[in-house]
């Protein structure tokens, strides 16, 4: 890989991808809307070029993707914007890839799989989404598959929920931030249910490793977390790291639905609450069989590192 671009570089996985690429000595262009935010995160890093712009503007994307051979598409947008926004953005990314002759690595979630089949989900598990957002993600997957048939190499990485440095728009961050602040902390979903949260540096390592292999393109890959974990276990780890001693309240589907009466973003969360009751757990057998051992940072270590990063960021602000 001569040079890569990370679209959505200021987000949790985007940030981790820039860090991973730069650590391997691969020149990387970091693309996101906020130039100031990227300057704070990457301004002193070797091999990182900052490029601000809007992924909905074709000219901005074409500029960002010029002279690169791999495009990491890690842009996310608020739920209410998904129906129109994501297909338009993907169309722009595909055009930019065609223009530059670049490959595409798409950072995806688990929504397209729909409900849990009661066992670990492999890449052969049928994608049968029952939510609007799952159907949108499946649409994006189909757009990438069609582009690959047209000659644009594409690969899809499916990840569970994120946590890690700068992964701020996440369920785990919501809980950790509340505990770190010393205020009344909350956990979204049932605390007794075990589910997956992937540490973003682990996910970035796996995605970059796939991007370097021609055999990985034209396929999709499941990248699981190190294990499943319950809300109770997350809270206990965070208590040790923060000293938080208050009760952590639970936010259930009923409360999210009530808040959705007044907030469109919360209303859009309701249909995804099934993941907090019937977790979709990914199998990494294909990756480990064809690529090698998956990066698996234990939750104790990953949560501790995430909290330390949050503390440092708070001290700098």
For 127-160, the pLDDT digits (tens) are: 999 999 999 999 999 999 999 999 999 999 999 9
Digit-coded pLDDT (tens) for 231-276: 999 999 999 999 999 999 998 777 777 665 556 667 788 899 899 9
CATH number of 4-165+197-227+280-296: 3.40.50.720
Q: What is the band of 45 on the pLDDT scale with cuts at 50, 70, 90?
A: very high
The chain-wide mean pLDDT, for the chain, equals: 94
User: What does residue 26 show for φ and ψ, rounded to 5 degrees?
Assistant: -95, 120
Digit-coded pLDDT (tens) for 107-121: 999 999 999 999 999
Q: Which residue is it, tokens 């985007």?
A: 14
Nearest-angstrom CA–CA distance, 58 and 65: 10
CB contact set of 108 (below 8 Å; sequence gap of 6+): 137, 140, 141, 156, 157, 158, 159, 220
Indicate the pairing of strand 194-199 with strand 103-108: unpaired
- In this prediction, residue 262 carries a pLDDT of 58
The 10 Å Cβ neighbour count of residue 216 is 21
* Percent of the chain residues past pLDDT 90, beyond the cut: 88
Q: Indicate whether 175 pLDDT > 70.
A: yes
Cα→Cα distances 88→29, 92, 152, 192, Å:
22, 6, 17, 39
Of residues 259 and 188, which shows the higher confidence score? 188
Digit-coded pLDDT (tens) for 191-242: 999 999 999 999 999 999 999 999 999 999 999 999 999 999 999 999 999 9
Digit-coded pLDDT (tens) for 291-317: 999 999 999 999 999 999 999 988 887
The model carries a pTM of 0.96
Nearest-angstrom CA–CA distance, 59 and 43: 24
Across the range 168-189, mean pLDDT stands at 93
- In this prediction, residue 52 carries a pLDDT of 95
Q: Indicate whether 26 pLDDT > 90.
A: yes
Across the range 57-73, mean pLDDT stands at 96
Q: Which residue is it, tokens 């979204």?
A: 188
- In this prediction, residue 283 carries a pLDDT of 98
């Amino acid at each position: 890989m001569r040079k890569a671009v990370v679209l959505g570089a200021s987000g949790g996985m985007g940030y981790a991808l820039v860090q991973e690429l730069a650590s391997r000595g691969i020149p990387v262009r970091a693309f996101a809307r906020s130039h100031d935010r990227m300057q704070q995160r990457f301004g002193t890093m070797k091999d990182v070029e900052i490029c601000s712009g809007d992924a909905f503007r074709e000219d901005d994307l074409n500029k960002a993707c010029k002279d690169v051979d791999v495009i990491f598409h890690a842009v996310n947008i608020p739920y209410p914007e998904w129906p129109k926004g994501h297909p338009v953005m993907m169309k722009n990314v595909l055009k930019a890839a065609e223009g530059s002759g670049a490959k595409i690595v798409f950072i995806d979630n688990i929504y397209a799989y729909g409900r849990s089949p009661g066992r670990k989900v492999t890449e052969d598990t049928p994608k049968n989404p029952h939510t609007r957002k799952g159907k949108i993600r499946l649409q994006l997957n189909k757009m990438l598959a069609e582009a690959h048939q047209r000659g644009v190499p594409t690969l899809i990485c499916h990840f569970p929920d994120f946590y890690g440095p700068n992964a701020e728009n996440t369920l785990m961050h919501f809980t950790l931030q509340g505990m770190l602040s010393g205020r009344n902390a909350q956990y979204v979903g049932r605390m007794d249910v075990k589910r997956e949260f992937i540490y973003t540096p682990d996910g970035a390592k796996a995605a970059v490793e796939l991007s370097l292999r021609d055999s990985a393109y034209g396929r999709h890959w499941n990248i699981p977390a190190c294990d499943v974990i319950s809300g109770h276990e997350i809270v206990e780890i965070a208590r040790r790291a923060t000293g938080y001693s208050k009760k952590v309240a639970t936010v259930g589907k009923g409360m999210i639905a009530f808040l959705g009466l007044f907030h469109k973003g919360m209303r859009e969360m309701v249909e995804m609450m099934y993941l907090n009751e019937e977790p979709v757990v990914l199998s990494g057998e294909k990756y480990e069989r064809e690529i090698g051992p998956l990066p698996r940072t234990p939750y104790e270590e990953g949560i501790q590192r995430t909290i330390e990063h949050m503390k440092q960021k708070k001290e700098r602000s």
